[in-house]
């Protein structure tokens, strides 16, 4: 089964529950940032898409890049800290009974990227994360249009995160 954006979001929910010293609580706004950033680093480092493109797209929304399935699966939390993972319908019986699963990341390479993103950004405030993703020359800045949810092309995200991966540290 292919990894999807909900599995990635659930991984970050687990990280936030396990990391008792994280300086910021995991909110919906933070969660969508983590998932997008992980997606970008995976494109750059693993050279592959880590979300299921049948269900997941990346769009430029007012507050930054968003994978709509993640937003809609967790929006019931509002601005409150997210304390539980999301489930998705797996199948339906003839009588209409739905069966749900909680998507999980099984791929160790993807987990490596997610752990890196958690460690790198856990101490960055949510406003600073927004500013990072809204800077000039980011994929969001190129794609965002007021009042529209414009898809951000994978190649644009890959180029942006590849530049971060390949940049030399400032001395």
Residue 71 parent element (H or E): helix 68-74
Q: Which two tokens stand for residue 12?
A: 């970050």
Residue 10 parent element (H or E): helix 5-18
Beta bridge partners of 66: 59
Contact 36, 117 (CB under 8 A): no
Nearest CA among 98, 66, 100 for reference residue 85: 100
Strands 59-61 and 150-151: antiparallel
pLDDT confidence of residue 156 = 97
Mean of the per-residue pLDDT values of the chain: 94
Enter the pTM of the model.
0.93
Contact 144, 47 (CB under 8 A): no
What is the mean pLDDT of each successive set of 10 residues along the chain, which is 171 residues long? Answer: 88 97 97 98 97 92 95 96 93 86 96 98 96 96 96 97 86 56
pLDDT confidence of residue 170 = 65
pLDDT confidence of residue 157 = 98
Nearest CA among 56, 24, 54 for reference residue 38: 56
Q: Which two tokens stand for residue 7?
A: 């599995």
Contact 131, 64 (CB under 8 A): no
């Amino acid at each position: 089964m292919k990894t999807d954006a909900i599995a990635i979001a659930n991984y970050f929910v687990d990280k936030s529950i396990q990391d008792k010293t994280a300086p910021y609580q995991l909110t919906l706004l933070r969660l969508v940032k983590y998932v997008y950033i992980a997606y970008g680093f995976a494109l750059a480092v693993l050279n592959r898409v880590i979300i299921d493109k049948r269900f997941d797209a990346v769009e430029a929304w007012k507050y930054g890049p968003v994978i709509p399935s993640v937003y809609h699966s967790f929006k019931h939390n509002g601005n409150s800290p997210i304390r539980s993972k999301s489930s998705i319908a797996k199948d339906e019986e003839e009588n209409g009974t739905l069966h749900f699963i909680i998507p999980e990341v099984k791929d160790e390479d993807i987990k490596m990227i997610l752990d890196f993103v958690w460690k790198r950004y856990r101490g960055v405030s949510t406003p600073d994360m927004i500013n990072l993703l809204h800077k000039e020359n980011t994929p969001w800045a190129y794609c965002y249009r007021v009042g529209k949810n414009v898809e951000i092309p994978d190649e644009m995200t890959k180029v942006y995160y590849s530049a971060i991966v390949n940049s030399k540290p400032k001395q």
